[in-house]
Amino acid sequence: MRRFKQIFGFALSTISLIIALSFLILIITYIIIKGYSVLSWEFISQPPKMSMTKGGILPAIVGTALLSIGAILFSLPFGVLSSIYLNEYARGERIKRIIRVGVNSLAGVPSVVFGLFGLAIFVKYFNFGVSVLSGSLTLGILILPIIIRATEEALKMVPNSFREASLAMGATRWQTTIKVVLPSALPNILTGVILSIGRAAGETAPILFTAAAFYLIGLPNSIFDKVMALPYHIYALMTEGTFPKEQTTIAYGTAFVLLVLVLGMNIIAIMIRIRSRRKQQW
Amino acid sequence: MVVYEKSKIVIDHLNLWFDDAHILKDVNMEITSNTVTAIMGPSGCGKSTLLRCLNRMNDLIDGCRIDGKVLIDNENIYTENYDIYNLRKRVGMVFQKPNPFPMSTYDNVAYGLKIHGIKNKKIIKERVEKALIDANLWDEVKDKLRKSAFELSGGQQQRLCIARALAIEPEVILLDEPASALDPISTAKLEELIDELQSNYTVVIVTHNLQQAARVSKFTAFMMLGEMVEFGLTDDIFTAPKDKRTENYLRGRFG
């Protein structure tokens, strides 16, 4: 009877895993089947034409790239410095625990709420308008907790003996952080950063009111311009416009490009992690 | 016997608590300049903690409270606003496990010079070379200075840590069980080096290895449960211990 239970239990968990993985394969194949007919060099190198039924999605690719890079430029320094405060400077476990609860709560805020916040603060209050800047800042806040957590984990993995050795030579804690701890933690921080770029690239709700445009022929000229973005483009193609049939195919093609970009980012992150693990000798 | 003995460090009624635990109990000790002084005792007797009082590394630990004085060259290092960064430049430390930074051998030794504001590349190069020579490591690493320090053997890494400490020209070197992670041959090389160091530096070594204390030191302190049980010439301690507890420890009754 115990033997039977064991076989049954493990069989159940094996099947669960197979089902979970088959969803991944299903999603990818479905998107390829539905969208591959539009995929071409023109599709990723040309702006949309004829009410978005022809042409490519270049402005959306560029827009997503700009928004992601902008989000990182904003959240990386903030995130890393915050983690340094938490892990290298702050004393007293209670206050640190309270701060961590705060950071985790930020991570739990639904992304559409970030969108509303971005609209109120960046678009309206700071008067940045619906723009790359507003969208980047909004996405930046969204990924801030991810960067803080990734950096904190990376800093925690740096052995204390490095810090002791440096301090024992008369280095200040700041020197120790900058010259020893941060360089040692860098590969792991980088992994977290790349994963969060992928996250930022895929989000729709935060840029809905802050950055995204439905249809642009050209590329943005400044950070105060609106941009097209891949996830929003998919949303727009499926809900608006006058040629739903053609648009659906383009939407799947766009989804494929977005998927390749995000998965590519994750693969790069995984490769950096594997490389640094192999090199790491402490 | 040469009469040059001069106290470099005086530990005066030193008490230390971690939160409510009384770790060091009224420790008194004088450390003679340009000699090797060993601190030995069973695990948990506070010998490492005592060593860390000499460069104020205990300051880093939450809940650590210290009462009493430590004088280095007749100056109390436990006064408010005492420059601990300069103190740690004068009092170098080598740890139990070799802990080179994840950098090249050269950069490891140059690190201390850089953090103390030396920018001249030529001076840095000279001082790195000198430190490696003084640590008996130069011949083994001169062809791979730019390679990661982790490629060195454990014994070489530990001598690198000593070179790293020597580069900033300290006056005192604290060694916290420096051979406990090393094989016998590496240990022998390290002890040889410690013996050489005393001509230029005041060396304090913590060890739980009795033979090592007997081999390398001129003075030995024996500690138990946070108390300084006995302190004197190593020869006297090992041949004619005054305290019953020292005698028991030397005979292997505990520890």
Check if B56 contacts A (Cβ < 8 Å).
Answer: no
Answer whether residue B1 shows pLDDT above 50.
no
pLDDT digits (tens, 9 = 90+) for A135-162: 999 999 999 999 999 999 999 999 999 9
CB A23 within 8 A of CB A240: no
CA closest to A180 among chain B residues: B101
> What span, in angstroms and rounded, lies between the C-alpha atoms of B110 and B103?
10
pLDDT average, residue stretch A8-22: 95
CA closest to A172 among chain B residues: B85
Pairing of strands B7-18, B64-72: antiparallel
Query: Sign of the C-alpha dihedral, residues B205, B211, B216, B222?
Result: positive
The closest alpha carbon to A70, from A187, A237, A225, belongs to A225
| Domain definitions of chain A by residue range | 41-279
B12 SS3 class: strand
Nearest to A165 among B55, B85, B95 (CB): B95
| Domain definitions of chain B by residue range | 7-250
pLDDT digits (tens, 9 = 90+) for A227-244: 999 999 999 888 887 778
pLDDT digits (tens, 9 = 90+) for B195-210: 999 999 999 999 988 8
A&B contacts, CB < 8 Å: 71
Q: What pLDDT sits at residue A280?
A: 67
Q: What is the ipTM of this complex?
A: 0.90
Spatial neighbors of A194 by CB under 8 A, at least 6 apart, are A265, A266, A268, A269, A272
Answer whether residue B233 shows pLDDT above 90.
yes
Q: Which chain B positions have a beta carbon within 8 Å of A280's beta carbon?
A: 102
Q: Which chain B positions have a beta carbon within 8 Å of A167's beta carbon?
A: 57, 60, 88
Q: What is the DSSP letter of B182?
A: S
pLDDT digits (tens, 9 = 90+) for A259-275: 999 999 889 888 888 88
Write down the CATH superfamily of domain B7-250.
Answer: P-loop containing nucleotide triphosphate hydrolases (3.40.50.300)
Q: What pLDDT sits at residue A119?
A: 95
Evaluate whether the domain defined by A41-279 bears CATH number 3.90.1150.10: no
Q: Would you place residue B3 in the very low, low, confident or very high pLDDT band (cuts 50, 70, 90)?
A: very low
Instruction: Indicate the burial class of B52 (C-beta count within 10 angstroms; 0-12, 13-18, 19 or more).
Output: buried
Instruction: Report CB contact under 8 Å: A171, B115.
Output: yes
Nearest to B88 among A169, A180, A282 (CB): A169
Q: Which chain A positions have a beta carbon within 8 Å of B102's beta carbon?
A: 162, 183-184, 280-282
pLDDT average, residue stretch A176-205: 92
> What span, in angstroms and rounded, lies between the C-alpha atoms of A169 and B89?
6
Pair of tokens at residue A7: 């076989």
Q: Report the predicted TM-score, pTM, of the whole model to 2 decimal places.
A: 0.84
CA-based radius of gyration for chain A: 23
Q: Which of B56, B88, B172, B174 to mutate: most A Cβ within 10 Å? A: B88
The closest alpha carbon to A199, from A271, A158, A243, A150, belongs to A150
> What span, in angstroms and rounded, lies between the C-alpha atoms of A146 and A154?
12
Nearest to B89 among A162, A170, A175 (CB): A170
pLDDT average, residue stretch A63-74: 94
Instruction: Report CB contact under 8 Å: B92, A282.
Output: no
Q: Would you place residue A102 in the very low, low, confident or very high pLDDT band (cuts 50, 70, 90)?
A: very high
Answer whether residue A218 shows pLDDT above 80.
no
**Order of all β-strands in the sheet with B219-224:** B91-94, B172-176, B202-207, B36-40, B219-224, B227-233
Nearest to B102 among A164, A168, A184 (CB): A184
Q: How far is B145 from chain A (nearest CA, A)?
A: 18
